[in-house]
Structure 1
């Protein structure tokens, strides 16, 4: 998808912000798929977290990956990420060292999974030389928060202090969780509205299907997706099911009004992050930010602000699906397959909307509240969320079939990437359920085997 580039152009009105979102609209032949996934680095010798510095640390890992053509991204003199020289994605660091690939905007799921395969091969090569492995889970299975090193990015210092003021689990979100996201396009404002409503309503189904974080500090934590639970008390001003999107008249303007009132974290000026936590973008628009009096925002400031808003599905000039735990290779490919099948074929999008359109705000919230603990067994009307998930997966398969995007060899369409999801809804067992069975059986009450069985 086409992504807004953060730049110095001044913002002079609310209309500028609405126009920035509207520019995301594009014809169907230009729709693309962007997949982001995070993973935990760990030391192969003892399964411990990985520090930034040192000959076998995160910095060495980033530097090692430059052999594949990645270019360093620096904050001051510190390397904090990598970018493709051809604009084909980037690698970034989350607060606790979680390694994130933000993939290129690609046309098919075949291309997406080929990109992922190449990335993981590179990571495995360099990581193996450094004695590092990478783990595909939604939450650290045995590390305490105080064991996890802090990455040297200025914005994370500001966010760390602010999280302590607005919720009880924000630091766990920052330092101990991993997710997979898919980013998708829309054709127009009405298309955006329908897709965003379907995405938010069905996000609990995605959470349940991809639930993969049942352990905390070496023991079962009582949840299937503890990562999802953590988000329930991270910062309620910027998270959740955003019920206003289901109100009559919702569109780009209403999303802008929401974002304007979400408290800010920072402004980037003269090579440093300025702490403006708790203040609104509305104040920024009229030059009334404390500490930056007289300063007014640029398009780049707006884009930065939008990245600090964390609802279950997020709007920029594309849409982000945010409900899934991190996982192994096949399930990373399965997430974009699930959402592309639902949202990129008109008949499937209409069917998905028919599935959710009469749900009440209370029902949607109840699903969100219960799914971290109950997963596919979450009650819904006269059945469970598993019934909804099975229907959604059938709709998704039909959508992928209708797209008819082959692999170039004439042997596979995109439905092949849905197999991992179809197995979950067939058996009713999420990845977390399978891990708990192993913990209570062949793992003998230990989480240590995850570092072998769930490593890339």
Structure 2
């Protein structure tokens, strides 16, 4: 959700829709240039009080203190209105979600081995600073203890606009903003046809990722009735910018149809001279005509379009890459497993073809039903004459074969397939991470939530 760090209004002026289509097409890359960008979010907390850490305070650990502490490792601070709100280093960034969730947006890397090493280094750096300040970080998909009122808001201009707008378009937007965490991966495509096939496979299988990574069964110190409450929250955040993109499965779908959808999704803001102008509910189509009420006569630029695309939240998001958005945050091993899962499916042609053969006759009703049900019943979710558990076994076998075919080896001669081991265990047992947490809550934790701050901490 973090977006890019610009003053706003940079880049070429956009005068017609064809330029927007061309901007998406710039993402096309030959196979040898395909990269892997992994992102993950985590909840910071005070280890003494188990409360969320505020942006600033005279007492206890703070978000500002974490960001400033990380600069010792060569991270360059990003300042907005006098506040340090992000860090940059070597193509990666550390940024803040609305409730103070720490997000690593990894650099584009060639292999899962590299992206896993990047995650490992980041978590070590975070742990070094956090230990000094008295902070900890949780790997979960949803805040297990704190209410919205307990949760601080970070001093980023766009978040104030979003907070005011969210209640107008859904019932759970604030829950998404302040109380959820995810792990995502960004992957490349070679052509428009390659993008279409990858997007369709990804959209169809996103509920399976939700099920395998389900890790958010608690809210307000008690079970919330879901295994991935984070996924459930997205079902009523803002349906004009979220969801499963049914039009992506229609004949003739391509860049233009995605652009049309994006043009019709209401705007959040326009950025000028570092300031966020309130454009909530306004139309980018009007902007393209020079008829945006807050900037009359002005046409959008490339960065305005990039900013707008960053405010769209479908289950798979298209920019100049494809962003997989269906998984809960979790422990270190699953932060590496998510990119492995999708790279195995999408970066080997035989695996991609096999995955498409598996899902190509699923109907839109089935895809929508899976999205809703997977949040609650995960691998036990029925699909035709089987369950998502059985589908998971098939899909993981395809992904594993795709990773083996890539033959990207580490220093020990191992390929990337071992990063799927945790997911294979989950699929084989049918027991999700959320269900294991619930079992501990009802047994060894005695119905208390506080032990999760040790069990799920990095």
Q: TM-score range by the shorter chain?
A: over 0.9
Please say if residues 5 and 300 of structure 1, whose CA atoms lie closer than 8 Å, have aligned partners that are also in contact. no
- Identify the residue that residue 424 of structure 1 maps to in structure 2: 426
Matching residue within 102, 113, 130 for 1:127:
130
The within-5 A match list for 1:175-194 is 175-194=178-197
Of residues 108, 112, 116, the one that matches 1:113 is 116
1:62 aligns with 2:67: yes
Shift of 1:5: 9.6
How far did 1:449 drift?
Answer: 1.1
For the residues of structure 1 that align with 2:272 and 2:297, how far apart are their CA atoms? 13
Q: Match of 1:311?
A: 314
Task: Say which is worse superposed, 282-291 or 130-139, in terms of deviation.
Answer: 282-291
Q: Show the counterpart of 1:77.
A: 82
Please give the per-residue CA displacement for 1:99-153, whole angstroms capped at 9, x wherever unaligned.
Answer: 0000000000000000001000000000110000000000000111100001000
- Which residue is 2:372 aligned to? 369
Q: Which residue of 2 aligns with 1:448?
A: 450
Given candidates 243, 247, 252, the residue that maps to 1:244 is: 247
Q: Distance in 1 between matches of 2:280 and 2:153?
A: 20
Alignment correspondent of 1:196: 199
Deviation at 1:447, TM superposition (A): 1.4
For residues 421 and 304 of structure 1, what CA distance do their matches in structure 2 show? Answer: 34
Unaligned runs of 5+ in 2: none
Per the TM alignment, residue 442 of structure 1 is displaced from its structure 2 partner at its CA by 1.1
2:276 aligned counterpart, secondary structure: strand
Mean alpha-carbon deviation: is it higher for 55-64 or for 248-257? 55-64
Q: What is the CA distance between 1:408 and its match in structure 2?
A: 2.6
- How many matched pairs? 451
| 1:221-244 alpha-carbon deviations (Å, 9 max, x no partner) | 100000000000000000001000
Q: Is the aligned partner of 1:281 residue 2:284?
A: yes
> Within 2, Cα distance between the matches of 1:268 and 1:351?
43
8 Å Cα contact 1:180/1:326 also seen in 2:
yes
C-alpha distance in structure 1 between counterparts of 2:273 and 2:213, whole Å? 41
Q: 1:54: how far off?
A: 2.4
Counterpart check, 1:395 vs 2:398:
yes
2:436 corresponding residue in structure 1: 434
8 Å Cα contact 1:81/1:92 also seen in 2: yes
What CA distance in whole angstroms lies between the structure 1 residues aligned with 2:38 and 2:406? 18
Are 1:321 and 2:324 an aligned pair? yes
Matched, 1:36 2:39: yes
Cα deviations across residues 260-319 of structure 1 (Å, max 9, x unaligned)?
110000000122000011011101111111221112110000000001000000100000
CA contact (8 A) 1:4 1:317 kept: no
Q: Distance in 2 between matches of 1:162 and 1:295?
A: 24
Instruction: Provide, for residues 378-419 of structure 1, a one-character-per-residue CA deviation record: whole Å limited to 9, x for no partner.
Output: 111001111111111110000001001001332x11011111
Q: Which position in structure 1 is the counterpart of 2:334? A: 331
CA contact (8 A) 1:378 1:385 kept: yes
Unpaired segments of 5 or more residues in structure 1?
Answer: none
Contact persistence 1:54–1:60 (CA under 8 A) = no
State how far apart, in whole Å, the 2-side matches of 1:185 and 1:401 are: 19
SS at match of 1:180: strand
Equivalent pair of 2:201/2:356 in contact (CA under 8 Å): yes
CA displacement, residues 178-232 of structure 1 (integer Å, 9 cap, x when unaligned): 0000000000000000000000000000000000000010100100000000000
| 2:4–2:307 contact (8 Å) kept in structure 1 | no
Secondary structure of residue in 1 paired with 2:317: strand
What is the 5 A alignment of 1:10-29? Answer: 10-29=13-32
Residue 290 of structure 1, aligned match among 283, 293, 303: 293
Distance 1:368 1:341 in 2: 22
Task: Choose the corresponding residue for 2:262, options 235, 259, 262.
Answer: 259
Q: 1:308 to 1:217 in 2, by over 3 A?
A: same
Provide the C-alpha distance between the structure 2 equivalents of 1:203 and 1:426, rounded to a whole number of angstroms.
Answer: 19
Query: What residue is the counterpart of 1:167 in the other structure?
Result: 170
Deviation at 1:24, TM superposition (A): 0.3
Secondary structure of the 1:143 match is coil
Instruction: Provide the C-alpha distance between the structure 2 equivalents of 1:427 and 1:281, rounded to a whole number of angstroms.
Output: 47
4+ long deviations beyond 3 Å: 3-7
- Paired with 2:69 and 2:390, the residues of 1 have a C-alpha distance of 46
Q: Is the 8 A contact 2:77 2:86 kept in 1?
A: yes
